[in-house]
Amino acid sequence: MTTSPRCSRTPARTPRCALVGAGPGDPELLTLKALRTLRRATLLLVDDLVSDAVLALALRGRRQPPRVVHVGKRGGCRSTPQAFIERLMVSAALAGERVVRLKGGDPFVFGRGGEEAEALRAQGIAVEVINGITSGLAASTALGVPWTHRDHAHGVMLVTGHAREGAAGPDWAVLGAAAAQGLTLIIYMGMARLTAVQAGLLRALPGHTPAAVVQAAGTAQARACDCTLGTLVTAVQAHGLGSPAIVVIGDVLQARAALATPERHVA
């Protein structure tokens, strides 16, 4: 009795894309998983806030370097449309590329990672999210203070000062009232609207509430200023600080002097 030979088929690889957090800029803060994923990629779609040092580490030692496409998104600057980025991710993944969307900070903390994951999964593309250290955490560390402290803050709020076009922005008075109950307020992308942010918070918080601003947190170029909520705008102007920057508001900043270490490199 003869049998016909079996046909062997290699199952098609499921298209997939990784959303990788590059952290605040220091390549030593990348996770091992992030670095391993970056070194397997054939296509890197890179945000503006990803540092050159992180990108250099991702490319180091590669016999066949991946294609690198810069798809920057910066407030107040010309940006790559989000819809274009999502179409590029989808088409490349469906074509069999090992796609990595490399983002500053963490993909799921004001990084549009949720929108991109929805777009990918809608096309049958598997999504892996690899977390990175968010710049808000790097900023508080640069200042020498934690987000939470048993004596000063029992929680933390992360909020963006940059609302989607046509959408209502945060209610700063409501957020200020929450901060008054012992929460640290970490504001991302708030520099362009800092005057409005300050005015709204002052409706619920006293002007002497501790505040600080850190520009380029987590990098060797980090700069910072201490102030109060009442002097926030004038202090930023006096120090010449600009984006990208994190604003920290709350009593936890009172712990700065006690917790500061010589390793802090903010001025």
Instruction: Give catalytic residues, as residue numbers.
Output: 47, 73, 189
Query: Tokens for 127?
Result: 């999504």
Residue 132 contacts residue 31 (beta carbons within 8 Å): yes
Angle between helices 172-179 and 194-201 (to 10 degrees): 50
Separation of alpha carbons 245 and 194, rounded Å: 11
Backbone torsion region of residue 162, taken as left when φ is above 0, otherwise alpha when ψ lies between -120 and 50, otherwise beta? beta
Separation of alpha carbons 35 and 28, rounded Å: 10
Q: What is the largest CA-CA distance in the chain?
A: 93
Helices (H) and strands (E) in the chain, counts: 9, 10
Residue 157 contacts residue 178 (beta carbons within 8 Å): yes
Written as one string, the DSSP assignment of 21-59 is E-BTS-GGGS-HHHHHHHTT-SEEEE-TTS-HHHHHHHH
**Dihedral angle at the C-alpha atoms of 36, 40, 41, 47, nearest 10 degrees?**
20
Separation of alpha carbons 172 and 267, rounded Å: 28
Query: Tokens for 233?
Result: 């705008």
Residue 20 contacts residue 99 (beta carbons within 8 Å): no
